[in-house]
Amino acid sequence: MKRLEELFFKCLMIGSTVVLLSVLLYILFVVIEKGLPSLSWEMISQIPGGGFYLGKEGGILNAIIGSLYLIFFSVIISLMISVPVVMYLNFTLRRKSRFAAFARLTFDVLFGIPSIVYGAFGFTVMIFFGLQASLLGGIIAVSMLIIPVMIRSIDEVAVLISPDLVEATKSLGATNYETLKVIIRQLLPGISTAVLLSIGRGIGDAATVLFTAGYTDSIPTSLTQPTATLPLAIFFQLSSPIDEVQNRAYSAALVLTIIILILSFSARYFSRRLSKNKI
Binding site for other proteins (CB under 8 A): 94, 162, 164-165, 167-175, 178, 182, 185-186, 276-279
Q: Tell me how far, at minimum, the Cβ of 120 lies from other proteins, in Å.
A: 42
> Judged by CB, which is closer to other proteins: 171, or 221?
171
First to last CA, the chain: 43
> Judged by CB, which is closer to other proteins: 167, or 244?
167
Q: Quick one: 240 exposed, middle or buried, by C-beta within 10 A (0-12, 13-18, 19+)?
A: middle
Q: Tell me how far, at minimum, the Cβ of 180 lies from other proteins, in Å.
A: 12
> Judged by CB, which is closer to other proteins: 56, or 273?
273
Q: Tell me how far, at minimum, the Cβ of 179 lies from other proteins, in Å.
A: 10
CA distances from 47 to 41, 58, 243 (A): 12, 6, 20
> Judged by CB, which is closer to other proteins: 77, or 274?
274
Q: What span, in angstroms and rounded, lies between the C-alpha atoms of 49 and 114?
A: 34
DSSP symbol at 95? T
Q: Tell me how far, at minimum, the Cβ of 75 lies from other proteins, in Å.
A: 23
- What single string gives the DSSP state of each residue in 124-155? HHHHHTTPPS-HHHHHHHHHHHHHHHHHHHHH
